[in-house]
Amino acid sequence: MLRLWKIRPGGHSYYLEVADGTGTGVEPAGVWLGKAVPDLGLSGHVEEDTLGSVLRGEHPLTAKALSNHQNRVVVAGYDLTFCAPKSVSLLHALGDPEVSGEVAEGQRCAVESSVRYLEDHALAVRRPVGDHRIPTPVRGMTAAAFLHRTSRALDPHLHTHVVVANLGQGEEGRWSALDGRGLYAHRAAADAFYHSQLRHELTSRLGVDWIEGRGGRADLVGISEEARFAFSRRSIAIAKELESHGLAGTRATELAATRTRDPKDIALSPLDLKPSWRARASEVGLSPRQLDRILDRTPRIEAASGSFRREAAEVSVGVLKTLGEISPTATRRQVMRTFCLALPKGAPRNEIEGAVDRIVGNLDAVRGPLGERSGPGVAERQYQVTKHLGFELEEAKADQRELKSARDTKELDRLLAARGMGRAPDRTRGSELDLGVGLG
């Protein structure tokens, strides 16, 4: 789950208080993240003075204001919190050191991939064009990532706070505040993208399997709902707050989280808490032997190489059908979210980006201003999706069934060539399947 909070000036002390090397905390030190970080001379662990500088809109080495209007900014930054599913948190907390390390590394890779997605598609600054101020691309994100392993209720809760400075450098070189609307607009897509990356990483590293959960946030096969519930005291407190006031929805949940947010005890580390966690786990059938059974349900090598070309061609049909049932038009970010939710085991970042580009490439832009714009953030253009349904959809489904029946890569390539598709270039890899199967 991706949570998004605004950070007011001076509101960054919490992240440093709980980080080793910067205070008395028990979590790992923060690390710098984002394409703009090297340009500001930042590297290694995050320190209070440098984080404070970038959140104030100052150059961290010279303390010089990067923007002439930074003193008008009332939002210092944004906290993007990438929360792993509860079952993943339990595997990280209760697994042996090797397994725990692989889970942590998978979380790191998934977060970094999602940050790259946001940099490429969500981040923007506004610049004057004629009588309007329109979103334009930024050179990169300036952010600090803090890995945390417990909830405020001291349950296992693997999550990463990505503290994004409200600061972006336009393509012309000028710094200014971000157009924060882009982060909110892409929040759902980035959330689905993060979970797809995490599924891919852990399937490849540990051979785990997944069961579909609420909102596409799948949980690990082998960790029961009872076990997840037993270690979700924070979520239970929020649910009770919502129920007591008869509220529901994303905004209400965020308010309930704030109202029930007690100070976090930073004196106890996960190592201190592990004996009590194991005792509680045994009460709900989550023994060390059961944890071992979670691993290697899928061959790791097969998961790492995957059969993404075949899977993506099949998934692309369902993506358009799902979107078309909601609205006649969609943006790229909506295609991205729907596509990621449809991948049971996720897929590598570059593969997903290329597949979504090819789906969108087979759609027509809507007529009028919404179809003409092509900027980042909220300025993504709208595409028509319903015109590809009906007969064309049924024809595409037949194509997918034949492609799925291909016995090997050579036969798959032969079937693709017969449709005049062959292979389409990907962004960074050699070549991949053109997803225009019966849809163009």
What number of other Cβ atoms are within 10 A of residue 246's Cβ? 7
The residue ranges of every structural domain in the chain are 2-294, 306-433
Instruction: Enter the pTM of the model.
Output: 0.83
Average pLDDT over residues 17-31: 74
Q: How far apart are CA 319 and CA 311, in angstroms?
A: 12
15 pLDDT band, cuts 50/70/90, is: confident
Task: Collect all residues with Cβ–Cβ distance below 8 Å to 150 and sequence separation of at least 6.
Answer: 156, 157, 264, 268, 270, 273
End-to-end CA distance of the chain, in Å?
34
pLDDT tens digits, 274-325: 999 999 999 999 999 999 999 999 988 776 666 677 778 788 888 988 998 8
Token readout for 54 is 């970038």
Exposed / middle / buried, residue 276 (Cβ in 10 Å: 0-12, 13-18, 19+):
exposed
pLDDT digits (tens, 9 = 90+) for 187-234: 999 999 999 999 999 999 999 999 987 766 899 999 999 999 899 877
Q: How far is CA 409 from CA 250, 309, 405, 414, in A?
A: 44, 10, 11, 9
CB 194 within 8 A of CB 112: no
